[in-house]
Structure 1
Amino acid sequence: MSTPTSSTSSRPTGSGEMTEAAPSALQSPKGRTTIANGVVQKIAGIAAREVSGVHDLGGGAARTIGALRERIPGASQSAGQGVSVEVGETQAAVDLDIVTEYGVSIADVARSVRQNVIRTVEGMTGLEVTEVNVSVNDIHLPTDEPAEQSEPPRVQ
């Protein structure tokens, strides 16, 4: 993942001149706003899960720990599981580990995830998302679901 920059940069215009980029919405003469990595991580994780064809986020170990955490009363699965971010003053970069559903186009799912994460993170934070890297670690099969118990357990 490339490191997001924290200053404005010069950009070439169509005539070959260099112009100064506009300052971020997070910085003004009256102060600046900083956004924690964990905030961007949660936003990106939720945005990725919203995409059809994404079964889960995280690698095998992270999903196992998440499944154990769900069994603890009062605990919930982390929205940032399977997401790592780098956040600068005006830019952010995101890495995602996802599990797709069997039968979907992985390229289409990755494209949709990338678009939704960029749109959501930029819309909610004002940060420019410089890249979203998607790693597909597994494919979820319908046979992976635990079988329903037909009889109630004998002991409670």
Structure 2
Amino acid sequence: MGTQTVEKNGIAADGKLVTDKGSTTIADVVVQKVAGLAAREIRGVHALGGGAARTLGALRERIPGATASAGQGVSVEVGEKQAAVDLELVVEYGVPIADLARSVRGNVITAIEQITGLDVVEVNINVNDVHIPEESEGEEPATARVQ
């Protein structure tokens, strides 16, 4: 007896991107956005991206009608069936980084595999900064201890 692919809403239940009826190509930017959104869902992730990317993102947010890029701090390589992801994170102070990275990695893998059908071969995480609440933008600097 052969296996049968059951379709729901026109989507193959087995998630195959290449079938005898045609192929589906997923753009890098799609995987990048899915990964960025999935990473931001995890508590303890303050922001994505390095210093320059965050600065550009902050400038972009000040432009009327503009929004922050969902793919900021995310780079991907996408093949026909697989994807690899690199993330740059800023974490909240006090959050255990190893646990946070494990949660982010799991959420990113699950989101990409469920949404795109691609097999995620790796998610590399670079924690490049720690957000300290007193360093938030818009707050007045602390009074100097010496004059």
The alignment's TM-score, normalised by the length of structure 2, stands at 0.83
Deviations 1:86-132 (CA, angstroms, capped at 9, x unpaired):
00000000000000000000000000000000000000000000000
3-state secondary structure, aligned to 1:68: helix
Question: Which residue, out of 76, 79, 82, partners 2:73?
Answer: 82
Code of the residue aligned with 1:135 in structure 2: it is N
Structure 2 residue ranges without an equivalent (≥5) = 1-13, 141-147
Check whether the contact 1:96–1:135 (CA below 8 A) recurs between aligned residues: yes
Q: Distance in 2 between matches of 1:145 and 1:101?
A: 11
Q: Distance in 2 between matches of 1:56 and 1:147?
A: 17
Code of the residue aligned with 1:83 in structure 2: it is V
Code of the residue aligned with 2:77 in structure 1: it is E
Code of the residue aligned with 2:111 in structure 1: it is T
The alignment's TM-score, normalised by the length of structure 1, stands at 0.79
Q: Which residue of 2 is the match for residue 137 of structure 1?
A: 128
1:145 positional shift: 1.4
Structure 1 residue ranges without an equivalent (≥5) = 1-22, 150-156
Matched, 1:102 2:117: no
Q: Distance in 2 between matches of 1:64 and 1:24?
A: 38
Q: Distance in 2 between matches of 1:137 and 1:36?
A: 27
Check whether the contact 1:42–1:79 (CA below 8 A) recurs between aligned residues: yes
Q: What does residue range 1-156 of structure 1 map to in structure 2 within 5 Å?
A: 25-147=16-138
3-state secondary structure, aligned to 1:74: coil
Code of the residue aligned with 2:82 in structure 1: it is Q
Structural RMSD (CA): 1.4
Moved over 2 A (4+): 146-149
Q: Distance in 2 between matches of 1:48 and 1:24?
A: 23
